[in-house]
Structures are given as C-alpha cells and as structure tokens.
Amino acid sequence: MLSLEDFKTSLTLPSPVEPFFPKWKGAEKVSLFVKRDDAIHPIMSGNKWRKLRNAFPPSLPKAIVSFGGGFSNHLHALGFICFKLGIPFTAIIRGDYSATPSPMIKDLIQWQTHIEYVDRITYKKRSDSAYLNELKLQFPDAIIIPEGGSQAQALQGIKDMVDEIEVDFDFIVAPVASGATLAGIVNALKTFNTGSIKNASPTPQRKAIGVGVLKGEGYLESLVEQFLPDSPRREVQQNIPAGERSKIPDRNQEAQLWHINHDYHFGGYAKAPIELQTFCCDFNNTMPFKIEPVYSGKAFWAVKDLLAKGAFNDGARIVILHTGGLQGAR
C-alpha cells in the first residue's frame, strides 16, 4: 500500500512533447507534435490521471464508487490507483460481462475491485440525484466519481497538461468522449491566448479541435459546455460538408475557441472497422509509439485525413494529445 505522494513518484511528469514526422499527404506543409500523456505510466492511461489527480480529498477516502463500460480506461485507471493506495473500489459497469469478462474487468478483479453489473436503463441514471442518493445510502463511506472522471475537479489537471506544452502551436487536437478533457484544454487556451505561454509569439488565437469518438453531434458539445458556463457556445455547423468541419479560416476573427469534428467516430464508441484497425496496426509498426482504435487511433486518423484535405493552413503548428488508453486495445 502506497501513500498518494509515493504513488505520484511513479509517474512521468511532465509528459514529453515530441516532434512527429509521419509520411502522410500534407504533413510536410505543417509542424506536428505529440503530447505523450500515454507515457505517464505503463498501466494507467494518461489523461485519466490528469482527471483523477484532484478527485482525491486531502485525507484519502474510505471508499470510491464510479461508473464505466466494460472496456473503460477510466475504471481501469481508477481501479489501479485504488489498489495501490489500499482504497476499496466499486465499479458500476454498463452491461453484464460476468460470463465473458473483458481484459479490463479481469484486471479490476485482480485488483480486488467490487464489480456491480447494471442494465442500460439503470446505467442511464448515473447522473440522476435520486439514484446517486441511493448509492450514497448503499456506500455511505464512499466518494462517488462520475463516469470518465469528468467533473469540475478534472479541469485543473487537464489545464496543467496544456501548460506543460512549451512549443508554440496553433491547434491542439484531442479525442472527445465525456467532455472534460476538451473543456480543460479550452480553459487553458483562454490563458494561452493572453500571451502567457513560454516562447509563444503574438499570433491569432490558438484553437482546440475535438475528435468525437462516439455518435453524438450536439450531445458531445453539451458535455463540454456544462464545464464551461462562461464560454461562448460553439454552434455545430450542420451544413459544412463532411471532412471540412475542422477547417477554421484565419479571416474569421469570430471563430470560436473550440469545436468538435464528428466525421471520425467510425460508427460509434469502440467501433473499429477494418480500415481503422489496419491504420492502427500500420501506425504501430512504423511509429515510435503506439495507438489504439477507441480514442487515440481516431484522433490520429482525423489529423491524417484533414491534412490530406487541406484543412490546415500551410505552416500550421499542430499538437495532437495522446491520451493513452492502450489497455483498451487488448
């Protein structure tokens, strides 16, 4: 059993920012970098630590309850942390995997997690106050962490990630599922765009491009906006052709700070058709780091496709956030 401070010493922070030189059409016209949050820890997904870091009170909780699917990176990371810190952990999982547990669930079992499988109707109540009150009665000593670790406390951890980036950039690209990572990036960019970034030149606003990894045009925007009450709403541009929604013209000074591209979910969450699987496999065989098809693979595919379509101006400086999650590829 470790203390929280001892556990932190096992993490690689700040995570590296590395130049990226893929042989993709259009890549030679821009500067690409990867924020390697996948390198924070070999077991725990990178952005999950960012989101969970501030979820723990000064005195460690007596127990923790949280939610996720059968392949959840969030539950995997939280289960690992709780095991290392000696905190009893209950994972409420959407669907019944008792007969065929996923690799993630097998890890949770090994880490002594208490697992409760619930049907989809019950799982949809995970944010309802009445259901949460029932859980508080069932687990009176526990703190309840939302799905994906997406809560207000998560934003500072994501902002810290952006603050670590010491190269100047025009765009930062990140996968989007529960909204908190993109919201944290937007919060950080508000500061960046005032000129506080190291080595930054007085350029137009830096912008965030979210890559939706599940079907949810409008829904994903609402998840981000719930953490950004003071942020101007980014209207989803329904009439822009597929593949062009991430094109952000410099001449439009009213262009918003962020938007989500919905062209690369490949049919929905954790959907990985053969072309995406092949892309990830080829990438992993030729690049110095690995990706997976649930999150990072879709983000890197999106950048590859947008470059080929000329969606970025020549000379654009683009940082791709690698959020980790390689356990999901097992």
Q: Residues 71-80: what's their mean pLDDT?
A: 94
Largest CA distance in the chain: 58
Burial of 133 (0-12, 13-18, 19+ CB in 10 A): exposed
Please give the pLDDT value at position 198: 53
d(CA 32, CA 20): 5
Residue 294 above 50 pLDDT? yes
Q: How confident is the model at residue 330 (pLDDT cuts 50, 70, 90)?
A: confident
Please give the pLDDT value at position 194: 63
Is residue 317 a contact partner of residue 31, using CB atoms and an 8 Å limit? yes
pTM of the model: 0.88
Residue 248 above 50 pLDDT? no
Share of the chain above pLDDT 70, in %: 88
Tens-place pLDDT, residues 133-188: 999 999 999 999 999 999 988 999 999 999 999 999 999 999 999 899 999 999 89
| Nearest of 103, 74, 101, 39 to residue 291 by alpha carbon | 39
CA distances from residue 65 to 56, 102, 176, 304 in whole angstroms, order as listed = 12, 20, 23, 38
Q: Residues 306-312: what's their mean pLDDT?
A: 97
Q: Which of residues 101 and 326 earns the better pLDDT score?
A: 101
| Average of per-residue pLDDT values in the chain | 89
Tokens of 9: 């010493």
Please give the pLDDT value at position 254: 30
Q: For 274-307, give the DSSP string.
A: HHHHHHHHHHHHHSSS---TTTHHHHHHHHHHHH
| Nearest of 270, 328, 330 to residue 73 by alpha carbon | 328
Tell the residue number behind the tokens 């208490």, with chain if given: 114
d(CA 230, CA 225): 9
Please give the pLDDT value at position 155: 92
Which domains are assigned to the chain?
Answer: 4-43+152-329 (3.40.50.1100), 56-149 (3.40.50.1100)
Residue 283 above 60 pLDDT? yes
